[in-house]
A and B are shown apart, each in its own frame.
Chain A
Amino acid sequence: MKAPGPEQYDPKHLVIDDLTLSAWLDEELDSAEARRVQSAVDAQPELQQRLARLLVNERRLREHFTEMAETRPMTEAMRALLVADEAPSRPWFLRLTDWTIHRLPRPALATTALALALVVGLQLGSRSPEGITGPDSLKLMTQLGPDHPWFELLESSITGETLPLSDSQTGRVALTYRDLDGHWCRQFSVQSPSEGSAMAAVACRDAGRWGISLAQPMPVRQQGDGLFRAASGGTAALDSHIMESMVGDVLMPADENEMIKQGWQ
């Protein structure tokens, strides 16, 4: 057998081909092979120079294309594909709620609110079972007087507080604001976790009563505990309505407390 030549022992004479040098640069060699290349690099100035030039190109490549990706704006076509249908960013106070209410043409509002009130009224059931089928009771449902189970929620609770409305229903006010007519308005939600129904609405206070001006049934999802929760959805239409009708700022809880004490006067 031929004895190993001096080049196998002397790092100055080790021949490192481009394939091996490239793999060493990427730390893809096993440790023994990597040590062998390292010793050759340490001992051979020509190899050091070649390695240095390789590294310059590597750095320039990486920096150049990274900078290009980071500084060149996303094209309009890409934006249209990836972000065009995202909801516009909303003011912080409108993010308080996940409830959606679609704005409806004015003539349709009363009818829709009445119908929805009937739906929820039916779920209330025991509250006024004899009165929910006639036209008069529908009208009553859109004007929430002190005898209505939702009246207390709108009249006396602060934003974010969940109140029981009946054995099976809970309600929660999402935000409070003043509208163009100077009325106090509250966006609120009513849900029945056990029955799998929910609705969201906006009610405004006039002459001591809360009148529902907008309402919509909400999609619900069954949770792990078997109960239903209202699913979050797009809120652009609701935001739009509130932004159009709101005057001034959303009321903060401390101010809400003050208004509650004063009876919304």
Chain B
Amino acid sequence: MIDDSGSLRHHHQEAAARAANGPTLKHSNKMLKELLLENLDALRRFCFSITGSAADGDDLAQGTIELLLKKGVPADVPFLPWMFRVCKNHWIDSLRARSKTQTATADELERHQGTHDGEADAYHRVQVSELERAVEQLDDDQRLVLSLVSVQGFSYREASETLEIPIGTVMSRLSRARKRLLELTQDNKP
């Protein structure tokens, strides 16, 4: 059905070529900021969808921006996949750290503070929270694939290269994520 060997081989060839050519030229700080501003909506959308929440998503986006500015981005690689890859790695690192400390997330705090916001947007909140809760219950790996393909509109090949996993794995994780979301949102109507 789908051949995933080509893209991965290409990816490894690129990496090998970069390593052979020595240090790569990086974007200037000014250019990097421009690229980040240009792609900020995409980054935040990705962060919101993998964390399942606004406050945690913004924390993740902030951390990703700091990392990108600190470490730089090679000028010869596509920016968007690179940005998402850094974001994904940062998210996984922060999940590991959080599992050790078990502190309340920014979103949990925000939700707590927002419990007295009134009834005007209650219906919207129910819908939103149902979706966010459903996303939160997905495995981390499933959320990443779902975020790239369903929310960001990436092809399987692009998602595979960004997450550095085979296309077959993208397919299976995505399928399981969608199936799980259907189970968790039983009441949705076409």
Q: Is B165 in the interface zone, CB < 8 Å from A?
A: no
A22 B37 Cβ-Cβ under 8 A: no
List CB contacts (< 8 Å) of A7-54 with chain B. Answer: 18-19, 21-23, 26, 28-30, 33, 49-50, 52-54
Whether A61 contacts B151 by the Cβ 8 Å rule is yes
Contacts of B42 in A (CB 8 A): 69
Residues of chain A within 8 A of B40, CB atoms compared: 74, 78, 82
7 contacts between A and B (CB under 8 A): A23-B2, A28-B2, A29-B1, A29-B2, A65-B48, A74-B40, A83-B33
Cα A18 to Cα B176 in complex, Å, equals: 8
- Cβ of A180 within 8 Å of any chain B Cβ, yes or no, is no
In the complex, which of the residues B2, B151, B156, B188 contacts A62, with contact meaning CB atoms closer than 8 Å?
B151
The interface bits of chain A over 75-98 (1 if a CB of B lies within 8 angstroms of the residue's CB, else 0) are 101100111000000000000000
Known A65-B48, A70-B41; contact A53-B182, beta-carbon cutoff 8 A:
yes
Residues on A with beta carbons closer than 8 Å to the beta carbon of B171: 19, 22-23, 28
Closest to B42 in A: A69
Nearest-CB residue, chain A, relative to B63: A77
Q: Report the interface size for chain A: residues with CB under 8 A from the other chain.
A: 36
Known: A30-B1, A57-B178. A78 touches B65 (CB 8 A): yes
Scan residues 1-27 of chain B and give those whose CB is less than 8 A from a CB of chain A.
Answer: 1-2
- Interface contact A82-B36, CB-CB below 8 Å: yes
A56 touches B188 (CB 8 A): yes
Cβ–Cβ < 8 Å partners of A69 in chain B: 41-42, 44-45, 48
B66 located at the interface, meaning its Cβ lies under 8 Å from any Cβ of chain A in the complex: yes
* Interface presence of B112 (CB below 8 A): no
Nearest-CB distance from A169 to chain B (Å)? 31
A interface footprint on B41-56 (CB within 8 Å = 1, 0 otherwise): 1101100110000100
Q: Is B151's CB under 8 angstroms from A66's CB?
A: yes
- A-side interface residues toward B, CB under 8 Å? 18-19, 21-23, 26, 28-30, 33, 49-50, 52-58, 60-62, 64-66, 68-70, 72, 74-75, 77-78, 81-83
Q: Beyond A29-B1, A53-B190, A81-B69, is A58–B48 a contact (Cβ under 8 Å)?
A: no
B73 is an interface residue with CB less than 8 A from chain A:
no
Chain A proximity of B52: nearest CB distance (Å): 9
Residue of A nearest to B188 (CB): A56
Query: Scoring B residues 153 to 170 as 1 if CB is less than 8 Å from chain A, else 0, what string do you get?
Result: 101100000000000000
- Chain A residues near B66 (CB, 8 Å)? 81
Can you list the 7 inter-chain pairs with the closest CB atoms, starting with the nearest?
A52-B190, A22-B175, A69-B45, A69-B44, A19-B175, A65-B49, A69-B41
> Is A26 a contact of B188 with CB atoms below 8 Å?
no
List chain A residues, Cβ under 8 A from B147. 65
Candidate in B45, B54, B150 with the most chain A CB atoms within 10 angstroms: B150
Q: Given A28-B156, A81-B65 in contact, is the A23-B1 Cβ separation under 8 Å? A: yes
Would you call A28 and B155 a contact (CB within 8 A)?
yes
- CB neighbours (8 Å) of B136 from chain A are none
Is the beta-carbon distance between B178 and A18 smaller than 8 angstroms?
yes
Q: Are B190 and A61 in contact (CB under 8 A)?
A: no
> How many angstroms between the C-alpha atoms of A69 and B146 in the bound complex?
17
CB distance from B162 to the nearest CB of A (A): 15
- Asked if residues B1 and A64 are in contact (CB atoms below 8 Å), the reply is no
